[in-house]
Amino acid sequence: MDLRTIKNELWSIARSYPTLAGLMMKQLPNGGGTVGGSWAAVMHSSNLDGDHFENVCFEYANFEKELPQPADQLAFEIISEVKHRKWKDDSKLLQMQKYHATAKKAPWRDREKSTDRFFIAMGLAMDQKTNLTEPQLDDLTKWANHNGAEPEWLKDGAMA
């Protein structure tokens, strides 16, 4: 994010708060520029995320966030808030990546490790390769619900 963009965002806040505009135009001692320019330089050196920075500045400019008291703490409040939001987004992204990287396989998809007859039956019923007939599905359902014996065609291993 360039210095000009940071200054424009700060001035968008200053348009809403006239006392802040006066503070930003105040000259620093020894010809060091203005307070607003100094704030922009500090923010620029902080390597802030552009989207979060613009969102925080928008909230201040539209009175969604209270201006800190004293007002000369505004730059540090903005830096703190932007870094906090960036940290929250990064931690959510990391959590999501960890979850999706270790997504567990549904038990009925892994027939070799399944021992529960319901999961075995579910896997057979969902598998496109088995092409079960209606009587076979009925026998499989009865066996899975413990209402019948294991079907002969399943014992033979023809469908496994």
Mean pLDDT is lowest, of 30-34, 40-44, 99-103, 106-110, for 106-110
Full residue range of the structural domain in which residue 137 is found: 107-155
Same structural domain for residues 20 and 63? Answer: yes
Q: Tell me which of 59, 75, 101 is where a domain ends.
A: 101
Q: Tell me which of 67, 85, 101 is where a domain ends.
A: 101
Mean pLDDT is lowest, of 58-72, 82-96, 142-156, for 142-156
Q: Full-prediction pTM beyond 0.75?
A: no
Same structural domain for residues 24 and 92? Answer: yes
Q: Is residue 64 very low, low, confident or very high in pLDDT (cuts 50, 70, 90)?
A: very high
DSSP for 53-108, please give it: HHHHHHHHHTTSSPPPSSGGGHHHHHHHHHHHHHHHHHHHHHHHHHHHHTPPPPGG
When pLDDT is averaged across residues 116-144 and rounded to a whole number, the result is 80
Same structural domain for residues 70 and 129? Answer: no
Same structural domain for residues 113 and 149? Answer: yes
Residue 160 lies in a domain: no
Residue 113 lies in a domain: yes
How many structural domains compose the chain?
2
Cβ 149 vs Cβ 135: under 8 Å:
no
Same structural domain for residues 77 and 142? Answer: no
Same structural domain for residues 67 and 23? Answer: yes
Q: Identify the pLDDT of residue 132.
A: 82
Cβ 57 vs Cβ 78: under 8 Å:
yes
Same structural domain for residues 114 and 93? Answer: no
